[in-house]
Structure 1
């Protein structure tokens, strides 16, 4: 007797044997029980989930005669009457299956519809089953529309497709649609255990788990792979032989790779990939298995203590839980994204193992390194132009440049008592080599000529405000308190909107600016850590602790503070950082922005003052495109 493959031998014969499609079974069973029958059904879903099987069971339910020959329409066909056995064997005259992939023309459809005028010969209903209906031509669809909408009472249409998007909406609107879902690996595993138990084939749970994952939701694929595994393993299913047959990567390699990436151990990553190459294991399977493990890790990190029932029997569950506690959640998400998109890069590289190495080592370029220097090797370039970063320390007097009209007039009313007074002294802007000397003389009139200020001296952002405006000397600690500087800022139209107000410079700000610029140039910090450093103001340096101030609560994260503390250790500062929320008026970002604005104004002034440009604009009506002038890098 010829051998019958498992996929055909264990094809469900009734609704109770259907696996993983409870929503479809319930709807059809209730419809058959109450005899609320539609004239056309459309079953959609991926390959091997039971579309044809459901169609045959539905045909048997409509035509079943019962074991005694007196049965009627039922949700539980007997399986022993003439109609049931003929449908199972494919010789029931009133059940017609048409493969639309090979019979897709209008002639084949018309030949099928010509049979609709004749009543059933043997059963109660004629059932026309059209498989892969989306392959029909538009003319064929149009030919069947009228019959599909109003068929004879003894005719039922059953359509099946793996791509419902290609079915015309005129057909979809005439059908009762059911979507058969891909089956979960746990459902496939449970069914395979029952099949192999009935076949008396010894098997290992881990081997069946590999087959259920490789099936990708298709029960037919799972049974076909099981047939192949039985032949490959000599009548039994063992994990080693099934893994070898599928070319699947042992999860121990995957766990080793993730553990090495968590420890920033690039050498172990490369050695493990070389081992995969020597064993001939597939690079795509490696990334696929890594995404599966990382998905479980991400779930454990987002929902601590969440373990699926299937994971209790997984011997790698304990190691996955340990890695979920070791690898930070953001790095888990980053590695998952790299592995997911890295599968598409394997075919672009001349060597898939070289591509696999690059995909995994890419994480080390975006995460802190475990080297003794604690250098954060995040290779993201700073968004500021290189010329905007001063090469050396920037010295400036502790003054805040404000417009004249921002100064309080002598006859101005007193401040509210709820606000503490601030000592404000008016002084003329001094040279960079000289400190800002307080002066008790009143402010000069607004139309007075501005004092001459050398262009080659002073901090770069003081050059941007070398006008007749006055400067206000404010102590660093007082200037940084929330709410006080806001009373002094007056953003009037004294200067163009593109000109930003200069930051309030201080000795603490100079020190913090120099330190952060060293870290930025050395590429020791990046991403959120760099944003925290650039947007913060150093308020105080106490023994063992520095106090920073930021304006946004989102920057105040423990992970970013710790990484910034580690980066400062490379400069010899063993300190702990504390962050408070308040108004920031002297941060590295403000200083760099002021320097960039100054260079932009100089570039625009240079172009507008060029004699050739002036001639072109005067004689030929030339115009400068806004935004087209950019300062050159040093």
Structure 2
């Protein structure tokens, strides 16, 4: 004995049973109740959202006679009378469903219209339902225009299509159009939960969530996938089985990716991609799951109260959200979305995935506050694995100065960061702001360092631009690459013209000088200034940028903190009391 598939078994038979299309149900129900009926309806929407179902319910509403046979047009068909049962079973002679994909010529439409001159045989109305109407030829559309505009009182047209753009405007103007929307993931998941309860099948919430997401707004796809998952799991829906069936990437892999990016652990990213390759998981699916995780993190970072507390992974998203700065999360989300389109161009999808993940490290913003410039040293795991740390962009300095001489008698570990760096004693990949300040037993004082801020010239125009960028960032009107463009730009000219303003910015990185980023920055600046602002970009080395100013301010705070610790009486006393004592490298951070 064969069972009926879930998509057919649980097809709604009344407006009340439909889910996710409340706007269509309300309009049709009110029209039926008030007897304000149109002669032609057009239902649009993607596959599996209820276009054919609405058509059948509408046909039953128009032809229902009730259990006693005296009923009239109603928004609540009984489902028990002969017309209702015949429409549900597809045997109602006055309800005709025509598949325009296989009957698209003028001959088929003319034959259908020839029957329209005859009154209904058993029903109150004749209902012609033409599915995938956009597949009809131009001649077929032209043949039905006159009848579609002025049909007999007893004839109703119901057209359905997944591509309304291909339907001629002459047809659209003769129809009452309803757009059936793709269903929300939570709506699909709740409906699947009810179906599983009716079927007495145990289902884990995580499994239903995966099925609802894979359906992409289509209830029919969700029920079909559920049928497949039940067969795959032997009569139950377990999250592990559904994930294996769909080839979905486990959230643990996504967690490892985000943790590796946060710790600048390139070796960890390579290991994760190798693990995904061994499991045969989709690279595109990995980026989709990564984008989903970043979206959840962005919501927690921007609007914590809007986070879904019922999400079983809410604690995981909360912990991951603290690992990245908000602008990093936005940037990585954009890169993950763009990376899915680039996978087809890669030699193979896993090499494309690896390059995209390494790009997250390369594009890590250099000026992202506490999460980037003030980031603590990488974990021992990252250092032992040999992961390369992304080099920060060099700070533009003034004219080159000769390297200062190290005072005689001062041990190397007492040399201040800038002296060691400029004298060639520091490691090549260690920027001066990250070099640790070490203090030994020698009482000889080290020369005072020269702050980078002193090399930045005083420029009222740069001061004004830095203030504007700070205001736009505070209003969240610039994010991700647009914010990076503003931070890395030097304002070289500004003028008022025609009730607006024109700004010329110099940006060194070519990747930031795109038209889309420039237009978005101009739009944000116009909103801030409350007039039209035009931005022009030019290439070249940029100096005195907001990013460099932030870097200089961090250096000043760092040096002040180091100076405070080195001059602290308790520290000086402890270093003198315990031979060989020193300040741990990188342990001094400004509050």
In the superposition, the TM-score normalised over structure 2's length comes to: 0.67
Output aligned runs, 1:123-522, within 5 Å.
Answer: 123-308=123-308, 312-367=309-364, 368=366, 377=390, 392-393=400-401
Question: What's the offset of the Cα at 1:45?
Answer: 0.5
Match of residue 18 from structure 1: 18
Provide the C-alpha distance between the structure 2 equivalents of 1:117 and 1:534, rounded to a whole number of angstroms: 88
Q: Check the 8 A contact 2:453/2:553 in 1, yes or no.
A: no
Provide the C-alpha distance between the structure 2 equivalents of 1:562 and 1:576, rounded to a whole number of angstroms: 18
Structure 1 576/146 Cα, relative in aligned 2: closer, same or farther at 3 Å?
farther
Match of residue 108 from structure 1: 108
Corresponding pairs, count: 430
Output aligned runs, 1:615-630, within 5 Å.
Answer: none
Question: What's the offset of the Cα at 1:172?
Answer: 0.6
Match of residue 630 from structure 1: none
Question: What's the offset of the Cα at 1:350?
Answer: 1.7
Match of residue 420 from structure 1: none
Q: Check the 8 A contact 1:565/1:574 in 2, yes or no.
A: no
Question: What's the offset of the Cα at 1:550?
Answer: 2.5
Match of residue 551 from structure 2: 564
Question: What's the offset of the Cα at 1:304?
Answer: 2.7
Deviations 1:484-538 (A, max 9, x none): xxxxxxxxxxxxxxxxxxxxxxxxxxx9xx99xxxxx99969xxxxxxx899836
Structure 1 535/109 Cα, relative in aligned 2: closer, same or farther at 3 Å?
farther
Q: Check the 8 A contact 1:61/1:77 in 2, yes or no.
A: yes
Provide the C-alpha distance between the structure 2 equivalents of 1:536 and 1:331, rounded to a whole number of angstroms: 29
Deviations 1:96-150 (A, max 9, x none): 0010111111111111111110000010000000000111111111111110000
The structure with the largest alpha-carbon Rg is: 1
Question: What's the offset of the Cα at 1:325?
Answer: 2.4
Output aligned runs, 1:586-605, within 5 Å.
Answer: none
1:551 aligns with 2:464: yes
Structure 1 108/573 Cα, relative in aligned 2: closer, same or farther at 3 Å?
same
Provide the C-alpha distance between the structure 1 equivalents of 2:394 and 2:113, rounded to a whole number of angstroms: 68
Structure 1 390/534 Cα, relative in aligned 2: closer, same or farther at 3 Å?
closer
Q: Check the 8 A contact 2:391/2:429 in 1, yes or no.
A: no
Structure 1 5/207 Cα, relative in aligned 2: closer, same or farther at 3 Å?
same
Q: Check the 8 A contact 2:98/2:129 in 1, yes or no.
A: yes
Q: Check the 8 A contact 1:116/1:155 in 2, yes or no.
A: yes
Q: Check the 8 A contact 2:284/2:343 in 1, yes or no.
A: yes
The ranges of structure 1 where at least 4 consecutive aligned residues each deviate by more than 4 angstroms after the TM superposition are 368-376, 378-382, 521-525, 533-536, 555-563, 565-569
Q: Check the 8 A contact 1:524/1:567 in 2, yes or no.
A: no
Q: Check the 8 A contact 2:264/2:390 in 1, yes or no.
A: no
Give the secondary-structure state (helix, strand or coil) at the position aligned to 1:346: helix
Deviations 1:307-350 (A, max 9, x none): 22xxx232321121122222111111110011101011111112
Structure 1 122/302 Cα, relative in aligned 2: closer, same or farther at 3 Å?
same
Provide the C-alpha distance between the structure 2 equivalents of 1:299 and 1:136, rounded to a whole number of angstroms: 45
Structure 1 358/9 Cα, relative in aligned 2: closer, same or farther at 3 Å?
same
Match of residue 97 from structure 2: 97
Question: What's the offset of the Cα at 1:262?
Answer: 1.7
Question: What's the offset of the Cα at 1:274?
Answer: 1.1
Provide the C-alpha distance between the structure 2 equivalents of 1:535 and 1:100, rounded to a whole number of angstroms: 75
Give the secondary-structure state (helix, strand or coil) at the position aligned to 2:129: strand
Question: What's the offset of the Cα at 1:2?
Answer: 2.7
Provide the C-alpha distance between the structure 2 equivalents of 1:381 and 1:131, rounded to a whole number of angstroms: 62
Question: What's the offset of the Cα at 1:355?
Answer: 0.7
Provide the C-alpha distance between the structure 2 equivalents of 1:562 and 1:195, rounded to a whole number of angstroms: 60
Q: Check the 8 A contact 1:260/1:266 in 2, yes or no.
A: yes
Question: What's the offset of the Cα at 1:393?
Answer: 4.1
Question: What's the offset of the Cα at 1:371?
Answer: 8.6
Structure 1 34/57 Cα, relative in aligned 2: closer, same or farther at 3 Å?
same
Output aligned runs, 1:47-126, within 5 Å.
Answer: 47-126=47-126
Provide the C-alpha distance between the structure 2 equivalents of 1:124 and 1:561, rounded to a whole number of angstroms: 78
Provide the C-alpha distance between the structure 2 equivalents of 1:274 and 1:106, rounded to a whole number of angstroms: 57
Q: Check the 8 A contact 1:365/1:379 in 2, yes or no.
A: no
Give the secondary-structure state (helix, strand or coil) at the position aligned to 2:157: strand
In the superposition, the TM-score normalised over structure 1's length comes to: 0.63
Question: What's the offset of the Cα at 1:6?
Answer: 0.3
Structure 1 187/555 Cα, relative in aligned 2: closer, same or farther at 3 Å?
closer
Give the secondary-structure state (helix, strand or coil) at the position aligned to 2:46: coil
Q: Check the 8 A contact 1:376/1:567 in 2, yes or no.
A: no
Q: Which has the higher helix share?
A: 2
- Cα RMSD (Å): 3.3
